[in-house]
Chain A
Amino acid sequence: MELSPDASHHMKIRTGPKGALRHSSEKKVAVMDGNEAAAHVAYRLNDIVAIYPITPSSTMGEHADSWAEGKKENIWGAVPTVVEMQSEAGAAGVLHGALQAGSKATTFTSSQGLLLMIPNMYKIAGELTPAVFHVAARAIATQALSIFGDHSDVMAARSTGFAMLCSNSVQEAMDFALIAEAASLESRIPFVHFFDGFRTSHEISKIEVLTDDDIRSMVDHTLVDAHHNRALSPDSPVIRGTSQNPDAYFQSRETVNRYYEAGADIVEKIMKRFHERTGRRYRTFEYHGAVDAERVIVTMGSSAETVADTVDHLIAKGEKVGLIKVRLFRPFDVKRFFGIIPKTARSIAVLDRTKEPGSAGEPLYLDVVCAVQEAFQQGFTHLQNHPKIIGGRYGIGSKEFTPAMAKGIFDHLGEANLKTHFTIGITDDVTHTSLDYDAAFSLEPPYVTRALFYGLGSDGTVSANKNSIKIIGEDTKNYIQGYFVYDSKKAGAVTVSHLRFSPTPIRSSYLISKAQFLACHHPSLLERYSMLDHVQFGGTFLLNSPHSSNEIWKYLPAAVAKQIIDKQLKFYVIDAFKLARDHGMGGRINTIMQTCFFQLSHILNTEKALAGIKKQIVATYGSKGSDIVDMNLKVVDAALNNLHEVKKPDALETFAHLAPLVSDKAPEFVHSVLGEMIAGRGDELPVGAFPADGTYPVGTSCWEKRNLAQEIPVWDSDICIQCGKCAFVCPHSVIRIKIYNPEHLTKKPDTFKSCAFRDRDFDNCAYTIQVAPEDCTGCAVCVDVCPAKNKSETRLKALNMQPQEPLRESERDNWDFFLTLPEFDRRKINPQVIRLQQIQQPLFEFSSACAGCGETPYLKLLSQLFGDRVLIANATGCSSIYGGNLPTTPWTKNAEGRGPAWSNSLFEDNAEFGLGMRLSLNHQAERARFLLKQLSDEIGRDFATAILLQEQKNESDIYDQRFKAAALKEKLAALHSPEAKELLTLADYLVRKSVWVVGGDGWAYDIGYGGLDHVLATGENVKMLVLDTEVYSNTGGQMSKATPRAAVAKFAAGGKPGSKKDLGLMAMTYGNVYVAQVAMGARDEQTLKAFLEAEAYEGPSLIIAYSHCIAHGINMSTALQNQKAAVETGHWLLYRYNPDLAKNGGNPFILDSRSPKRKIEEFFSMENRFKMLKKIRPEEAKKLEKKVQEDIDKKWHKYDAMARQNGTKDKR
């Protein structure tokens, strides 16, 4: 066996292109991620770019939009037109049209987005239209949504007739984008060019950038002309899109065969041409490994690089292994594929990154089986044996795929009994598909520097690391890799940065398991993650801590201290927070920690590193004034002076032992499954630990104590006026109010606060406002809204922020005690008055939404008012993420076990999803009433009639009906007829149930509008709550039709020129829809009223709720003031349209806003989304602002006139 660099003959050892960078002057080298790499080419080769945001592809569209905004030209000297559509289906439609009309057009998408494009993809392919869709491949929502990477989406589109070309790395994402474009033009087959979501789309790497000349040289202009000449034109008209009958369709379908037969050859030819131009050699299938390999893995995507590394390692150990990289998956060239299999092959494992339940095997596996079978059948085999072929699944939903797993598969291929449909990377204890492997096997070569950084989203860790990568990537010949693992929580998000630096190209497409350098940027993270597992023996550990090098041992968790000693780590501390504060940099410790990294990692010598950092500082902050530059430069020097090595401790027994992350009191499932996920050990959970159908318990967020807040609100009962506003606005349901009999106070903890409830109707009730100290995010919205000031010291209110740590223990006890106090009887609470209504128990608590979120208070209110009888259909978006992102959910239940039943279907179909729930409830209630009538003799006529006639308008009514339903069930249990048994299962449907459809503006105004409109038109009793942030918040702030004029958003980088769609007005035109527009921060009682009225209305209701958002660029602590300004300037009107009022001849429309008393300018100046435009394009901003003011004035007059209209009764 020999390693040979000669790649000319496929039976020798062949190695794929390593993408060796040439640092010659004519080559441009740059640091970027896979999305930018693909978009770089796509933008230059297209005229029309139709986009829609979806993770992880969104940034490709964002780049295209920004470039177009900056008037960057494509290779033909034109600025492409970038258009955001209402959905991916819309984007695909635009593409189809643009292509038919002769333009070069492209799009970027992922997952459900690609699925929405499929109908048009069939047509585009059927019409032999050259085009490339660039896809950051991602899982598809099944038992749960996953934003992470696998090939489920592209595999779902594999029958559309699109060619499919897969790139494995950032360099390839750029190269294959070009190869796909060129091949599509020549073959007339449209291409899906895809790469692994996150792993490649978000990995940062140093690559050779294709120049415009490179791109031009690869595109044959006559082919572009030919495409153009096929355009539909009235100057030489033809028709397409005919409908064909049985006599013609089949034959027509076969006309395309020769194009697909030629497809692979064309791609090969273009790859050859690409090699000549760039020196990088690719093939449709590539073999990498021993010439005499007996065991072969076939795979596609970034995993191929991991397998390649493993192959090299195993060959060096004398093993006979090989790898076939599949690059062109469609059209699948059977002969070419078969020809590349080494003749010595005995066993082949085909890896698929998708799951096709119920199939004979996953797609790539089936293709390989087919290829081998055909070859043997047709007798063109060169193989010495008929190899055994097995298929396996790996990496689904971004599950890691490591060299250890690749080795495990090779090991298995050497065994006698092969698993035909295996999984790798998980433990399947149910159907036993999983292969065992030695997880300790690692391929990290010593010459690669590996560094891990644990930080919080807010501290700049990722930005600092991106800077470090730039410094090293651009100033040295090192290859670099940056991969960042983000949190699934929005508030208090943790980031882990994985950085590799190497003198040779880096192929490792997996996380770092053995780092030489590990930095913990936030001491609290030490308690939550066993991060030192990932440092190698003798490595370096840097900790940001307020404790000095002499004292630090006292404060380390025992397990951490033990690892430092056992692994003989070089251990350093720095108090970066203090340094940052002292240098006027607030919480931004990025520059400090970056400096320490360079000082300790020795990647560059100190002098060079410092020069690099300082250069970067000037580049980043230079334009921001010399003060900021000076500040950062000074902190660099200070960092070096304050970095201290920690000496070994004298004794070990003083170490702190950590409390378990999840309380022992938690239910078994929470403890053993969710708790493991909370602790970051979810990967180790076996298949059997998980529910098979995606059903999870509610009420789990309370077990995940995250202790995010540095400061929490503390109640001063003397000052408090008991208005309830703090609890009303609390986005995380951590401020709770209870009234109760003072008798319960006998066992109260010492510091538990209580006072008399000041309400004449509730004599002798005690009153407490209690904060959940470990769940609070410290957003301080409650303090901002508190109207009660301390008369002796006006800076103090009834709620004041105080440091959490000293209060943690005592407030934890108080909170636990508070929870033992009984909930007040809901029937006695008047829900129309906030201070009373807020006594209702929230059934939505401790969500992972951003600190200070503007959406969650509305959901909490919904849960308080109707939570014990509501089904919630939640559109995909922020609310589905903080509402249903494992491990825990904020939706919970009350002591009786009742609470919201929640589900998320899709982004686009939420209203329909909710309507389905409604129809089902109606049907079951009807059936129950029918059965009840039938059984009335056995149950008792009077009792049955009482149930059937029970009104259910208020809490008391509903309670009464519940009692009756319970009594009915008791009676039914004694009966044995089939009807009685059936009614027993349906009895609860006799109690009123509500359906609330919840989603953001992206859903309601754009992608789901058609459904929303239709469901409103059905007149069914479905309630819709639109959490209007005026932007696609979850995917990072892209424009929606709810985005106001003049706001800067992604896809509206130059400020949105058009005005906001008036969804409420459109809904009102139906006449029978309850419509309200609310803004909690402006008039809370109007919000409450609207929720109550919407629920009470026997028909469709629509509440559009203004929700401030981090994407507005505002101070979240005082965000309610922004809401107030939005209303007072007329940007957001408050109103209610209640068709019930018209029944009596009145005017159904009530305008709750007063005439605008402030100019829009005032509101605009409070929010970065508007301010930015002034800073980018002052003239345009001025023009738009003027227009907005005119819009507002007009709108106000229109609405005012509507409110003044007399009802029909008065007209008569």
Chain B
Amino acid sequence: MDLSTTYLGMKLRTPLVPSASPLSEDLDNIKRMEDAGASAVVLHSLFEEQLRTEREELFNHVMRGTHAFSEALTFFPEPASFQVGPEEYLNHIRKAKQSVRVPIMASLNGCSVGGWIDFAKQIEQAGADALELNIYFIPTEMEMSGREVEDVYLDIFKAVKSAVKIPVAVKLSPFFSSMARMAKRLDDAGANALVLFNRFYQPDVEVESLEVRSTVLLSTPQALRLPLTWIGILYGKIEADLAATSGIYTALDVIKMLMAGANVTMLCSALFRYGIPRITVIENGLRQWMEEHEYESVEQMRGSISQMKCDNPSAYERAQYIRALQTYKSENGIKKNGYR
């Protein structure tokens, strides 16, 4: 049975790829991922802010209060070199490349065009096989139009793409007026893959302390519907590969995504919740399901129920939405006032 797939021009043993998460900050975890059957690993994200400010912040801490008081002109020994975020990250890429055989994809997370983009080149030089560019932009400005928002994404992407030769995937959020158009524009600009979707860490309100808290929530299996929808819609219509992320917990989830048209499926919350060996469990499940259902290869099922190839393309559209609601009502017996 052939579980292999292609993604970003690379042939991968399976479509199971751990997505960018703090898990991959630890080299041992990356080794464990490979041992558990991951076909590639996306490293944790390096944030634009880290590149921009981390060293400056350290520098400021080292400089704070210096050259003011005659007895203590400085407060720290000045080391010859700092390994702030970026260098650490590059070292991490190098070490990961030495430690495992599967492809290593670096991840850069940013929201504006700036000097930090130069770092993509260093990531390439450090040996990353590909780069996932996570554009994470929350447009809060009242004056900014949707088109302008899209342009920000494209400008960042183009700047990165022109800086490196390795393939570049773009991870983005679904919050565009025209998701399809956005996908097309990135595709036209040369994106090697789209990773759908980014999860925004929406804040919560703490009512006791009267504070806004930004805690991370793990995705739930329900979250899979959104990427599934758009992968299904985009499959076959753009050249870029498609990676599915969010809500993938089981082999069945993987299968669904592949059928919708994903080249790879990315695992994050599942690994947090159930541990890295979950990859093996999912692969075994995938293998078993394919055996039972007599699939020969992943390639065979890929995109088979996409909008383009399914028997009911409208299922991906609005008409289907009304029908779904009707069905839900009758199945669950909802009364007019909304209560059962």
B70 touches A624 (CB 8 A): no
Taken together as a complex, chains A and B put the C-alpha atoms of A460 and B63 apart, in Å, by 9
- CB interface residues, A 1137-1184, toward B, < 8 Å: 1168-1169, 1171-1172, 1174-1176, 1178
Interface residue from B63, B65, B67, B76 paired with A1050 (Cβ < 8 Å): B76
Taken together as a complex, chains A and B put the C-alpha atoms of A697 and B283 apart, in Å, by 82
B79 touches A1176 (CB 8 A): yes
Q: Which residue of A lies closest to B63 (CB)?
A: A463
Report chain B residues within 8 Å CB of A850. Answer: 65
Q: Which residue of A lies closest to B78 (CB)?
A: A66
Which of A457, A460, A461, A1033: most chain B CB closer than 10 A? A457
Interface residue from A65, A625, A629, A1110 paired with B77 (Cβ < 8 Å): A65
Q: Within 8 Å of chain B (Cβ to Cβ): is A490?
A: yes
B67 touches A484 (CB 8 A): yes
- CB interface residues, B 32-89, toward A, < 8 Å: 51-52, 55-56, 58-59, 61-84, 86, 88
Q: What secondary structure prevails in chain B residues at the interface with A?
A: loop
Which of A65, A69, A486, A1174: most chain B CB closer than 10 A? A486
Q: Which residue of A lies closest to B48 (CB)?
A: A627
B58 touches A1171 (CB 8 A): yes
Q: Within 8 Å of chain A (Cβ to Cβ): is B115?
A: yes
B70 touches A488 (CB 8 A): yes
Q: Within 8 Å of chain A (Cβ to Cβ): is B322?
A: no
A1168 touches B61 (CB 8 A): yes
Report chain A residues within 8 Å CB of B81. Answer: 623, 1176
B115 touches A626 (CB 8 A): yes
Q: Within 8 Å of chain A (Cβ to Cβ): is B116?
A: yes
B59 touches A624 (CB 8 A): yes
Which of A147, A484, A1036, A1048: most chain B CB closer than 10 A? A1036
Q: Within 8 Å of chain A (Cβ to Cβ): is B118?
A: yes
Interface residue from B65, B86, B88, B118 paired with A1110 (Cβ < 8 Å): B65
Q: Within 8 Å of chain A (Cβ to Cβ): is B210?
A: yes
Report chain A residues within 8 Å CB of B82. Answer: 623, 1172, 1175-1176
B70 touches A1036 (CB 8 A): no
Q: Which residue of A lies closest to B209 (CB)?
A: A789
Taken together as a complex, chains A and B put the C-alpha atoms of A600 and B317 apart, in Å, by 70
Report chain B residues within 8 Å CB of A1172. Answer: 58, 62, 76, 79, 82
Interface residue from A794, A881, A1052 paired with B71 (Cβ < 8 Å): A881
Report chain B residues within 8 Å CB of A1034. Answer: 71-72
With A626-B118, A1037-B76 known as contacts, the answer to whether A1178 contacts B59 (CB < 8 A) is no
Mask: chain B, 274-297; 1 = CB below 8 Å from A; 0 = not? 000000000000000000000000
- CB interface residues, A 761-805, toward B, < 8 Å: 789, 791, 794
Q: Within 8 Å of chain A (Cβ to Cβ): is B114?
A: yes
Q: Within 8 Å of chain B (Cβ to Cβ): is A717?
A: no
Q: How far is the CB of A875 from chain B (nearest CB, A)?
A: 15
Report chain A residues within 8 Å CB of B66. Answer: 457, 462-463
With A484-B67, A1171-B58 known as contacts, the answer to whether A627 contacts B116 (CB < 8 A) is yes
Report chain B residues within 8 Å CB of A1036. Answer: 71-75
Q: Which residue of A lies closest to B117 (CB)?
A: A626
Q: How far is the CB of B215 from chain A (nearest CB, A)?
A: 15
Which of B52, B56, B86: most chain A CB closer than 10 A? B56
Report chain A residues within 8 Å CB of B56. Answer: 624-625, 628
Q: Which residue of B lies closest to A791 (CB)?
A: B210
Report chain B residues within 8 Å CB of A794. Answer: 210-211
Q: How far is the CB of A935 from chain B (nearest CB, A)?
A: 52
Q: Which residue of B lies closest to A1037 (CB)?
A: B75
Q: How far is the CB of A1179 from chain B (nearest CB, A)?
A: 10
Taken together as a complex, chains A and B put the C-alpha atoms of A1113 and B62 apart, in Å, by 7
B115 touches A457 (CB 8 A): no
Taken together as a complex, chains A and B put the C-alpha atoms of A490 and B77 apart, in Å, by 20
Taken together as a complex, chains A and B put the C-alpha atoms of A493 and B74 apart, in Å, by 14
Mask: chain A, 52-86; 1 = CB below 8 Å from B; 0 = not? 00011011001001100110000000000000000
A1033 touches B72 (CB 8 A): yes
B72 touches A1037 (CB 8 A): yes
- CB interface residues, B 82-107, toward A, < 8 Å: 82-84, 86, 88, 91
Q: How far is the CB of A587 from chain B (nearest CB, A)?
A: 10
Q: Within 8 Å of chain B (Cβ to Cβ): is A1053?
A: yes
Mask: chain A, 929-965; 1 = CB below 8 Å from B; 0 = not? 0000000000000000000000000000000000000
Q: How far is the CB of A503 from chain B (nearest CB, A)?
A: 28
B71 touches A55 (CB 8 A): yes
Q: How far is the CB of B253 from chain A (nearest CB, A)?
A: 32
Q: Within 8 Å of chain B (Cβ to Cβ): is A504?
A: no
- CB interface residues, B 150-197, toward A, < 8 Å: none
- CB interface residues, A 901-921, toward B, < 8 Å: none
A1175 touches B83 (CB 8 A): yes
Q: How far is the CB of A749 from chain B (nearest CB, A)?
A: 33
Q: Within 8 Å of chain B (Cβ to Cβ): is A198?
A: yes
Taken together as a complex, chains A and B put the C-alpha atoms of A616 and B97 apart, in Å, by 36
A1110 touches B115 (CB 8 A): no
- CB interface residues, A 21-72, toward B, < 8 Å: 55-56, 58-59, 62, 65-66, 69-70
A490 touches B68 (CB 8 A): yes
Interface residue from B64, B77, B115, B118 paired with A1053 (Cβ < 8 Å): B77
B65 touches A1049 (CB 8 A): no
A66 touches B210 (CB 8 A): no
Report chain A residues within 8 Å CB of B63. Answer: 460, 463
Interface residue from A457, A624, A625, A789 paired with B68 (Cβ < 8 Å): A457
With A627-B115, A630-B115, A1172-B58 known as contacts, the answer to whether A495 contacts B67 (CB < 8 A) is yes
With A486-B68, A627-B116 known as contacts, the answer to whether A1111 contacts B52 (CB < 8 A) is no
Taken together as a complex, chains A and B put the C-alpha atoms of A460 and B56 apart, in Å, by 15
B62 touches A457 (CB 8 A): no
Interface residue from A458, A495, A789, A1174 paired with B210 (Cβ < 8 Å): A789
Q: Within 8 Å of chain B (Cβ to Cβ): is A1062?
A: no
Taken together as a complex, chains A and B put the C-alpha atoms of A695 and B62 apart, in Å, by 38
Mask: chain A, 718-748; 1 = CB below 8 Å from B; 0 = not? 0000000000000000000000000000000
B70 touches A1113 (CB 8 A): no
B83 touches A1176 (CB 8 A): yes
Q: How far is the CB of B208 from chain A (nearest CB, A)?
A: 11
With A1048-B76, A1168-B62 known as contacts, the answer to whether A623 contacts B55 (CB < 8 A) is yes
Q: How far is the CB of B182 from chain A (nearest CB, A)?
A: 27
- CB interface residues, A 596-645, toward B, < 8 Å: 623-630
Taken together as a complex, chains A and B put the C-alpha atoms of A625 and B91 apart, in Å, by 17
Report chain A residues within 8 Å CB of B70. Answer: 55-56, 147, 198, 486-488
Report chain A residues within 8 Å CB of B51. Answer: 625
Q: Within 8 Å of chain B (Cβ to Cβ): is A1035?
A: yes
B83 touches A1178 (CB 8 A): yes
B65 touches A625 (CB 8 A): no
Q: Which residue of B lies closest to A59 (CB)?
A: B73
- CB interface residues, A 472-500, toward B, < 8 Å: 484, 486-490, 493, 495
Q: How far is the CB of B249 from chain A (nearest CB, A)?
A: 28
Interface residue from B55, B75, B80, B91 paired with A1111 (Cβ < 8 Å): B75
Q: How far is the CB of B73 from chain A (nearest CB, A)?
A: 6
Q: How far is the CB of A608 from chain B (nearest CB, A)?
A: 26
With A625-B115, A1110-B64, A1178-B83 known as contacts, the answer to whether A490 contacts B69 (CB < 8 A) is yes
**Residue positions of B touching A, CB distance < 8 A:** 51-52, 55-56, 58-59, 61-84, 86, 88, 91, 114-116, 118, 210-211
30 sampled A-B residue pairs with Cβ under 8 A? A55-B70, A59-B73, A62-B77, A65-B77, A457-B65, A458-B64, A458-B65, A462-B68, A463-B63, A463-B67, A490-B68, A495-B67, A623-B55, A623-B82, A625-B52, A789-B210, A791-B210, A881-B71, A1036-B75, A1053-B77, A1110-B64, A1111-B72, A1111-B75, A1114-B61, A1171-B58, A1172-B79, A1172-B82, A1175-B83, A1175-B84, A1178-B88
Q: 6 closest A-B pairs (Cβ-Cβ)?
A: A457-B68, A1036-B72, A626-B115, A462-B67, A493-B68, A1053-B77
A466-B67, A1033-B72 provided; 6 other pairs, C-beta below 8 A? Answer: A458-B65, A487-B70, A1034-B72, A1048-B76, A1176-B79, A1178-B88
